[in-house]
Structure 1
Amino acid sequence: MSWFDQSPYEIKVEWGERGAREAANRGDIVIIVDVLSFSSTVVTAVEHGAEIWPFRPPVDEEAKAYAERLRAELVLGRAEAQRFGGHSLSPLSFTPADHGRRYVLCSLNGASCVRMAERVPALLVGSLLNASAVAAAANRLKRELNANITVVPCGEKWPDARENENRLRPGIEDYLGAGMILSRLEGSKSPEAEVCIGAYEASGTKLAELVWDSASGRELREKGFEQDVLYCARTDICSVVPVLRGGRFADANGEAGG
């Protein structure tokens, strides 16, 4: 055990790809939280019965070949989807018409964290949309697998980081989503988890307002995706819990609804 980590506790929180790797090394159940927008998009797509296959970024020839092998549609970035059509990282681009269809989803933050933790006992996707549902599923898996839980807020990347600088930019929307999930998990919580819960609880009725005016929220709004921000800030409107099985996300609670 490293004396400077959160190992003494059953419930932990770690940031980004490095945090996901740390959780994987411990053999924890992992909950990936990327509110704007990977997690919210995966939750919504699975809610509609779509099959989502995460793939490490960028959207390149290797990603295209992977989608072709799966006979799946490669999900584009919002700007590309606006130009060429098709689905995007916008959760609102998925509808009940996508039931049974396959999609390959790349994401600089969410999919990258999934890649780091894909071999853990269970990898779940959480957001504000399904916070209570994912916590309930994680509590059940914790008992069944006798494993601890790490919640991983993904954060963002600085686009202009210099050499030897850490590119991670923590995002409050992911921290608040992680806090909501952590507040519903059972077991001893690390100080880091307790502080994260405190941030969520302190947000109170301002949670949606904080997400709206966060750096990530303003970035999406300025690009014309105000409805995405409003939607992703809603709480507990989805009951599905995406879990990684055989390289794709399925509903941990059973067959997704359409």
Structure 2
Amino acid sequence: MFSQSPYVCRMEWGRRGAREAAERGDIIIIVDILSFSSTVVSALHFGAVIYPYPPYGNGKQYAKEVNAEYILGRAEAAKAGKPTLSPVSFNEEHSKKRYVLSSLNGAFCTWIASKAQALFIGSLLNAVAVASAANQLRLKTKANITVIPCGEQWSNGVEEEDTLRPAMEDYLGAGAILSYLEGEKSPEAEVCMGAFLQAEPKLDALIWDSGSSRELRERGFAADVEHCSRLNVYQSVPILKDNHFVLYNGKL
């Protein structure tokens, strides 16, 4: 079976990678730049409480069960003046308010890996902060670290096709975090980190022109792309506890 087991720091793609890492007992960092990870990091920066939920369940019913508000789609929520999957929709007004956030990639990967001993949310916005938290926790637990770029999903897939579309922005976000992680890195992690280091001088321009970015910009969400492309602007490190994200305080 495919394995990066000799190494402390690993890189795995998507839902399957998240499940495998959780089953191994690794410290997991979920990376979905446009936009789940960036939204969670931004929301917690402003004090909001986020419950992740997969896209195929009854999110509205789950929101009632946890006494939270279900986050609507970008366009619908924007018309109502409510926070959305768009990270720039969160501000100080949302402090201490509870929200259920679904997404096809980041929330789904989080749900699959929710039994991990430690699951962090990483983005370009908090790359150095989340890596520092994972480094500290690894020293305490001796667990390995797996960074999970979530990728996107191809639409209209046909039978026997893999629907995962590796996303450049998630790969670069994972590489940024890996560049700050301590410990021997697998070849997969080394190459991912190298991609980030090569791209760093023009990071925002590359993400701006990526396929995922073009899709968002065509829908009128250019501000999301600009926000999510910023490197190390937040110290917020979300960790999953009791099915919602809290700010990591050095303890499990």
Which TM class, normalised by the smaller chain length? over 0.9
Match for residue 91 of structure 1?
Answer: 87
Provide the secondary structure at the position in 1 that maps to 2:246: strand
Paired residues, number:
250
> After superposition, where does 1:78-227 map in structure 2 within 5 Å?
78-227=74-223
* Partner of residue 30, structure 1: 28
Structure-2 residue corresponding to 1:41: 39
1:244 aligned residue (220, 240, 244):
240
The percentage of counterpart residues that share the same residue type is: 57
Partner residue, 2:70: 74
Q: How big is the shift at 1:80?
A: 2.4
Counterpart CA distance in 2 for 1:120 and 1:51 is 20
Instruction: Extract unaligned runs of 5+ from structure 2.
Output: none
Aligned residue number for residue 19 of structure 2:
21
Cα deviation, residue 77, structure 1 = 1.7
- 1:204 Cα offset (Å): 2.6
SS of corresponding position for 1:100: coil
Secondary structure, counterpart of 2:184 in structure 1 = coil
Contact 1:73/1:104 (CA < 8 Å) preserved in 2?
A: yes
Q: Write the deviation string for residues 142-194 of structure 1: whole angstroms up to 9, x where unpaired.
A: 11111000000000000111111100000000000000000110111000000
Structure 1 alignment gaps of length 5 or more: none
Per-residue deviation, 1:85: 4.0
TM-score, normalised by the number of residues in structure 1: 0.94
What TM-score results when the alignment is normalised by the length of structure 2? 0.97
1:53 to 26, 34, 51: 51
In structure 2, give the amino acid aligned to 1:21.
R
- What is the Cα deviation at residue 83 of structure 1? 4.3
**Distance in 1 separating the partners of 2:179 and 2:249:** 21
RMSD: 1.1
Q: In structure 2, how many angstroms separate the alpha carbons of the residues matched to 1:160 and 1:5? A: 31
Letter paired with 2:54? R
Alpha-carbon displacement from aligned partner over 1:211-255 (angstroms, at most 9, x marks no partner): 10000011000000011000000010000100001111000037x
